Amino acid sequence: MTSHTAGRDRSRGDARAHLAAAHAGKGQSPLVRIALFSLRHPWQASFAIGATIVASVLQLLIPRLLGHAVDQAQGILTTAGEGAEQALFWSAMTLLAVSVARGVFTLLQNYFSESVGHHVGYELRLAFYDKVQKLSYSYHDKIHTGDLITMGLLDLDGVRMFFATGMVRVVLLSVLIGVGAYMLLTTDVVLGLLALSFVPFVAWRSSVAQLTLRATWIALQDKLSGLTRVMEENLGGIRVVRAFSAQDFELAKFDDASRAALELSHQRVDVRVRNTSAMTFSFFAAMGLVLWFGGNKVIAGEMSVGTLASFLTFMTILQMPVRQLGLMVNSFARASICGDRLFSFFDEPLAIDDAPGATDLVVGEGTLRFDDVHFTYPGATHPTLDGVSFEARAGQTVGIVGAPGAGKSTLAHLIPRFYDIDSGSITLDGQDVSKVTLQSLRRAVAVVQQDTFLFTTTIENNIAYGDPWSKETKIEKAAESAQLHNYIMGLPAGYDTVVGERGVSLSGGQRQRLSIARSLVLKPAVMVFDDSTAAIDAGTEHRIRSAIRRYAKDRVTLVISHRLSSLLHADTILFLEDGKIVEQGSHEELLALGGRYRALYELQTRPVEDIELGSAAQ
Ligand code: ADP
């Protein structure tokens, strides 16, 4: 096994493990599930929480030490003495040491909580991507790609950051506010209550603000998804946009979507600014009260200057974390929305999956059999295939014709189980396709689609996509059979030419030929050409067919084509109408039958003038 395969197997194994972990706590709230997922890194999580506790306790010591030092300094002023000065020096040193230690532990807290966040992000991303690979066609039929991308980026980020911005912050604030309040209240109840008076107000304000922010966040996410969708469609259909000079229309559409997002962003800023001002005001009001009452106590000799200083310092220290209550609430709100969406995605049952105890498909002689197959698309009211039965043995070519919408492509998509059938059976060498592993099945069945997707990489990699370790000669042979080799050799970089979105553009016919070569490399037991030669001229198609016939000796070939001339050589031709096979036989037999096939054949072979004259006469 090469290092490449080792890497691939490791990634797959890791992704599976992370996806399984994402299922932990199914049925529980999203926040519990995020916590369970984050705690898969117990060491880092414990260090983060431990460092947070130590840092906050050290933080609480600072006002005490400062107050003590102020009293010592005052003592020196009133009763000067050698010992007092030394004590003050040591107090200052202790204060410095505690501050440095607090800084170090805060650093550790940030380091470990970020580390947990990044690991969680990496693992969720891998699990997400693994799940995306397994999604069935029916899921893609109902969800927009833009929404999936948003989920994989924004939702995942909201979940990833919950440990650092939510869980760790709960610990930090609990210790700071809880222990701090206890220390203040045991020192002086009234002054303690005054010092803490801004806390409930800020907590209330930030909660109200966060509820508003949460609502606008959902709306903003929705608008951003819409924006992605508009942009994606525009880029996907860029040629149509240009051809119809629809730039202004497209710009207006994008402007509408973006204006809505801008308004929401404005609302969010407004909520934030108002609340920040209210919170700052309440803090300084509380500080003023402490100064007033505390000052009076100091004047009355009931309290030392140092104690008052420690109250004020404590308030200053507490200010930031209490303001962060808002961020914490935000983190909870965001994680709960994002987590809900993300975990629902992970929980989504796979419409198409390996049956329990599925075994690998063993390809023997290679006989494909449809037996009374019925199929209805999810959500559709009418069946698309209605009792289809036929058999094709290795070496045979089966042609499929019929009007658009008759169900030809659908029939092809059922063989590699892109969808599952309602009733009947599809077997390959007697093995039901629904009972074998998907991977082995899809390796044995290649569907060459009409519209070909090219990855942004070299021609060689594109052809070898299904089997990245295939030898150069095999790739070249496949390209030769697909009548593409000569064209590739004419390119300056040959097989190393980069194609795809950011590479050399290939014509429709060249793309189709590349797609044919990509399937030929796999040497599948069943090859389906789904109108995949529509953009190729008849002469080239003929040469491809002759070349493939050599390949096709020991495999089943299904050819779906509008052009009956492509099917003349087929052993059997199926005529599909409304999901039923209405005529079946060889070209000659079907012509002799004098039915629909013959009518279609005559239509396609009749000279154009005849058709025009015929229609003029009517
Ligand atoms: P053909 O290949 O003969 O032109 P198809 O197999 O593509 O026909 O489509 C058969 C019918 O199934 C059509 O009515 C089409 O609208 C419907 N159909 C095709 N794909 C889907 C899908 N993903 N979801 C729902 N209906 C579909």
Fold: same for 13-346 and 368-617: no
Q: Which band of pLDDT confidence, cut at 50, 70 and 90, is reported for residue 431?
A: very high
Both structure tokens of 158: 């909201």
Query: Can you give the pLDDT at residue 533?
Result: 67
Residue 232 has pLDDT above 60, yes or no: yes
Residue where the block lists tokens 């402007």: 255
Query: Can you give the pLDDT at residue 80?
Result: 58
Outline where 399-484 has alpha helix (H): 408-414, 438-444, 459-463, 472-481
Kindly state the average pLDDT of the residues 428-446: 90
Distance from Cα 409 to the centre of ligand 1, integer Å: 7
Query: Can you give the pLDDT at residue 483?
Result: 86
Which residues 6+ apart lie within 8 Å of 616 measured at CB? none
Kindly state the average pLDDT of the residues 243-268: 84
468-474: long-range contacts at Cβ-Cβ below 8 A with a sequence spacing of 24 or more?
A: 468/4, 469/2, 469/4, 469/5, 470/521, 474/521
CB of 509 within 6 A of ligand 1: the answer is no
Residue 594 has pLDDT above 50, yes or no: yes
Kindly state the average pLDDT of the residues 291-306: 92
159-163, 261-265, 533-537: least confidently modelled range: 533-537
Highest mean pLDDT among 142-156, 281-295, 485-499, 547-561: 281-295
CATH 3.40.630.30 for the 13-346 domain, yes or no: no
| Top-confidence residue, 19 or 109 | 109
Distance from Cα 581 to the centre of ligand 1, integer Å: 16
Query: Can you give the pLDDT at residue 16?
Result: 78
Q: Which band of pLDDT confidence, cut at 50, 70 and 90, is reported for residue 99?
A: very high
CB of 408 within 6 A of ligand 1: the answer is yes
DSSP conformational letter for 577: E
Distance from Cα 404 to the centre of ligand 1, integer Å: 9
Query: Can you give the pLDDT at residue 75?
Result: 73
Residue 599 has pLDDT above 70, yes or no: yes
CB of 331 within 6 A of ligand 1: the answer is no
Residue 134 has pLDDT above 50, yes or no: yes
Q: Which band of pLDDT confidence, cut at 50, 70 and 90, is reported for residue 114?
A: very high
The CATH code for residues 368-617 is 3.40.50.300
Query: Can you give the pLDDT at residue 534?
Result: 66
Q: Helix, strand, or coil here: 201?
A: helix
Query: Can you give the pLDDT at residue 614?
Result: 47
Residue 2 has pLDDT above 50, yes or no: no
Q: Which band of pLDDT confidence, cut at 50, 70 and 90, is reported for residue 226?
A: confident
Residue extents of the structural domains in the chain: 13-346, 368-617
Residue 290 has pLDDT above 90, yes or no: yes
